[in-house]
Amino acid sequence: MATHRFTPSRYHLSIGSHEPALRIADGDTVITSTIDAHGYDETETQVIEAGNPMTGPFYVEGAEPGDTLVVTLDKIVPNREYGWARTIVAPNVLEPEYVYHLPPEDNWKVARWRIDAAAGTATLAEPADTMLGALVLPIEPMVGCFGVAPSRGQAISTATSGEFGGNMDYRGFTEGVTACFPVFVAGALFHLGDVHAVQSDGEIGGTGIEISSEVQFSVQLKKDAMVQWPGGEDERYVFTVGNARPLDQAVQHATTEMLRRLQREYRLDAISARILMGQCVEYDVGNIFDPAYTMVCKIPKHLLPYVA
C-alpha cells in the first residue's frame, strides 16, 4: 500500500499500450499532476501539443485481461490560477437550422476564469464586458479523460472514448468517486488527464473550465470480476457508463451493463433487476460533444441488496 509521488516527464495523446511511466501495486496510491487539454502546465507553459495529453500510463502489477481496475479519485486540486473555456454552444447540440445564425468568428473565442482552489470558486475574468460580469461559480474539479489501454493493441485518441474509458467528460468523476474499468492488457496501463474545474452536463461548450491539477488516486484490482464498460460508485449511487454515438447507443451500453451488473455482481434475479431498473434508474448525460457521447446509468445504493 505504497504512496508514490510521480512527476510526469512525458504525456500521451492516445490511450494505448505505451511504455509504462510507473509500476505500482494493487492498493497503492499515486500523487501526480495533469496538464490541461491544450498541453499547458501549472505555469501556463505549453509542454506538449493539444489535445488532452495523458499522464501515465501506470502499470498495475498483477492486472490481467478480464480483471476490473478500481480507481479511487482521492484528490483533484487545481494547481494554477487560471482556467480557460470556449464560449460557444457546440453546433452538434443545436438544431441544424439554428447554426446558420451563429457567427463563425465566435467559434474559437476563449474565456478565462480565475480559479481560487482554497475558496472553491471560479470567477469569470475574460471577456469582462458581458452581462455575466465577474460571474462566480463553485468549482467541482473532475477528471475529463482517463482509462486503460484498449484491446487488440489499439491506441485510441484522447479525443474520444469507448469500453476502455477515455474522454468521457462526465462531471460525476469528481473527488471521492470510485471508477472502474475492464482490464484489456497486462498491467491495465492506466492513463489520466484533462481536468476541468467546472463543467456543464454534456460539456456542451466543447470544454469545461480547463485546468492543470494535482491529482491523488489509489488503485485496487478485482480478479474474476469483469465489467464490460466503465462504471463507478459515489456515496449515493452505483453507476455504469456507455460511450458511443448516437446518445441512444450510449444509453444502450450503460443500461445493459447495469442490467448485467445487477445480476452478476449484486446477485439480483433477472425479473428483480428489471423491475428495479424500470422504476428506479436515473441517467446523467456525460458528454455530448466528443466523437463518442457518454451516458451514465445510476441506481441508488440503498436499493441494492448489498454492495459487493
Strand, helix or coil for residue 170: coil
Q: What is the DSSP letter of 80?
A: S
Nearer to a copy of itself, 44 or 106 (CB): 106
Q: Residue holding cell 460539456?
A: 203
Nearer to a copy of itself, 190 or 229 (CB): 229
Nearer to a copy of itself, 220 or 255 (CB): 255
User: How far is it, in rounded angstroms, from Cα 61 to Cα 222?
Assistant: 12
- Total count of residues recorded for the chain: 308
Helix or strand (DSSP H, E) at 216: strand 213-222
Nearer to a copy of itself, 70 or 83 (CB): 83
Q: CA dist 226 to 221, 230, 231, 243, 261, Å?
A: 11, 10, 12, 18, 9
CB atoms within 10 A of CB 299: 22
Q: Residue holding cell 475558496?
A: 119
- Compute the C-alpha angle 82/134/80, nearest 5°: 10
For the bound state, the minimum distance from the C-beta of residue 128 to a copy of itself, rounded and expressed in Å, comes to: 12
Q: Residue holding cell 505504497?
A: 2
User: How far is it, in rounded angstroms, from Cα 186 to Cα 173?
Assistant: 25
Q: Phi-psi bin for 188: left (phi > 0), alpha (psi -120 to 50), beta?
A: left
